[in-house]
Amino acid sequence: MTASIRHLRMFLALGRSHSVTQAAADSHVSQPAVTQAMAKLARDSGHALFRRSPQGLFLTEAGEMLHRRAARALRMLDGAMADMDRAVRVQATWPQLAALIAVTETGNFTLAAHRLGLAQPTVHRSTTMLEQAAGTDFFQRTAHGLISTRAALHLAQAARLAMAELDQAEADLATLGGREVGRIVIGALPLSRSGWLPRAILAFRRARPGFPFQVIEGRYDELLGGLRRGEIDMMLGALRLPSPIQDIAQERLFDDEVVVVARRDHPLARGAGLDIRALASCPWVMPRRSTPLRAILEAAFAGHPPADVIETSSVITLREILRQGDHLGGLSRMQAEIEADALAILPLRLPHAMRPIGITTRAGWEPTRAQSAFLDLLRDTAARLVQAGLHPPEGAKTAPS
């Protein structure tokens, strides 16, 4: 959405009051200014936003959609601006907020300008005007560069989420008009890439051919940051229990078992009565320490983990190291079954080897219709995998090793 913050405030006022006269008074502008702003907003959205009645102006279905999203977006901004001078609520613009975001992320006006495709003086002027309207410092100049203040970081985060909310509004309005706009951005942790996510995407694309997806792979903390900034819509894979932070919501869909794997002709692959603690002398390939899978493996060693460990988050790297040597590794059962041509699951059960798998979103996030449809498909695909026996059912128990 390209609507200015000022126009959105007028729109919200009119939606509440149903009166141009009252909306103008609430917004401290003239009645023609409100009328012109609403006409522009309707043109930009491609929808009639109000219908007239003897009792006043009332929101259409499209107007209700935009009103709800705009109210959420401005509530985020106003929360971050609560301790600032009131002028910033009236004077702030999206370009100024975009400049603030870029500077807080790069720590440098020149780099921020390069990212935005603007001249450095333009970016500096935008952030300075915003800073003056807010009546608070956004940056501290040091010998090592700029340091963003807490106020700047808080406002930049609110602006990111507000902009994401208006992108959602654009997608909602396009769907109402029979068009597909926007895309679904997914943060994919390792397990989701193995079968669950690809199946859901392909099924969704059969119903909505050409709908764009972006799948971002990375470490949990990196993807979590993108999710909280509004750059990622949802994150799929192993959940963290308890939740690492309060502003996310986690939905558990099934439990997945962690298993020990080796190359198919590894001597231990034919063994019986294996004990995980006896395998500590073997060389291992493991994920990073911050992952649930690593925590399950190390707990199984009862305080005496292997000394010879290669760390990698790549299933491909793990597979090739195991395939060409005598290393052991830990994988989810689903990933291990996909790699069955190269790897064997050792005949032992780890204690407390189940980890919850599901969907992580921002707390209070309101998906578009397309995103809601895809979330339903993810749930259905997960349920089908469980029914097919590719995953142990939720809450399944494992025998101790």
Among the residue ranges 195-199, 294-298, 378-382, the one predicted with the least confidence is 195-199
Measured CA distances, 83 to 74, 86, 101, 389 (Å):
15, 9, 19, 54
131 in the same domain as 38? yes
Name the pairing type of β-strands 354-362 and 309-311: unpaired
Q: Left, alpha or beta for 367 (phi > 0: left; psi -120 to 50: alpha)? A: beta
Which pLDDT tens digit goes with each residue over 106-131?
999 999 999 999 999 999 999 999 99
Phi, psi angles (nearest 5°) of residue 354: -85, 135
Give the CATH number of the domain where residue 242 resides.
3.40.190.10
The total number of residues written for the chain in this structure: 401
Residue 401 has pLDDT above 90, yes or no: no
**Residues sharing a CB contact under 8 Å with residue 243, sequence separation 6 or more, in sequence order:** 250
Per DSSP, what are the bridge partners of residue 223? none
93 lies in a domain? yes
**Interatomic CA distance for residues 226 and 215, integer angstroms:** 12
318 in the same domain as 381? no
Question: Strand ranges (DSSP E) for 128-204?
Answer: 139-142, 145-148, 184-188
**Interatomic CA distance for residues 8 and 1, integer angstroms:** 10
Q: What number is the average pLDDT over the span 91-114?
A: 97
233 secondary structure, DSSP code: S
170 lies in a domain? no
Which pLDDT tens digit goes with each residue over 9-45?
999 999 999 999 999 999 999 999 999 999 999 999 9
Which tokens hold the place of 273? 């009565």
**Interatomic CA distance for residues 75 and 79, integer angstroms:** 6
110 in the same domain as 12? yes
Q: Which domain holds residue 74?
A: 5-158
Residue 242 burial (CB < 10 Å; 0-12/13-18/19+)? exposed
Identify which of 303, 284, 289, 300 has the alpha carbon closest to the alpha carbon of residue 350.
300
Residue 242 has pLDDT above 80, yes or no: yes
207 in the same domain as 259? no
Peptide bond into 305 cis (omega under 30): no
Name the pairing type of β-strands 50-53 and 56-59: antiparallel
Which tokens hold the place of 155? 């406002």
Q: What is the pLDDT of residue 381?
A: 93
Domain boundary (315, 331, 355) is at 355
Alpha helices in 290-368 (DSSP H): 292-300, 315-323, 333-338
Residue 36 burial (CB < 10 Å; 0-12/13-18/19+)? middle
What proportion of the chain, given as a percentage, has pLDDT over 90?
A: 81
Q: What is the pTM of this model?
A: 0.85
Domain boundary (106, 125, 158) is at 158
Which pLDDT tens digit goes with each residue over 243-258?
999 999 999 999 999 9
DSSP conformation letters of 9-70: HHHHHHHHH--HHHHHHHHTS-HHHHHHHHHHHHHHHTS--EEEETTEEEE-HHHHHHHHHH
362 in the same domain as 344? no
- Range 270-276, long-range pairs (CB < 8 A, 24+ positions): 271/346, 271/347, 272/347, 274/346, 274/347, 274/348, 274/401, 275/348, 275/401, 276/300, 276/301, 276/348, 276/350, 276/401
Q: Left, alpha or beta for 230 (phi > 0: left; psi -120 to 50: alpha)? A: left
244 secondary structure, DSSP code: S
360 in the same domain as 316? no
151 in the same domain as 46? yes
Q: What is the pLDDT of residue 144?
A: 78
Which residue is associated with the tokens 């229990």? 241
92 in the same domain as 29? yes
**Interatomic CA distance for residues 79 and 216, integer angstroms:** 30
113 lies in a domain? yes
Q: What is the pLDDT of residue 74?
A: 97
Q: What is the pLDDT of residue 389?
A: 66
109 in the same domain as 66? yes
Number of domains in the chain: 3
Which pLDDT tens digit goes with each residue over 288-332?
988 999 999 999 998 889 999 999 988 899 999 999 999 999 999
Domain boundary (100, 123, 158) is at 158
Identify which of 116, 91, 93 has the alpha carbon closest to the alpha carbon of residue 103.
116
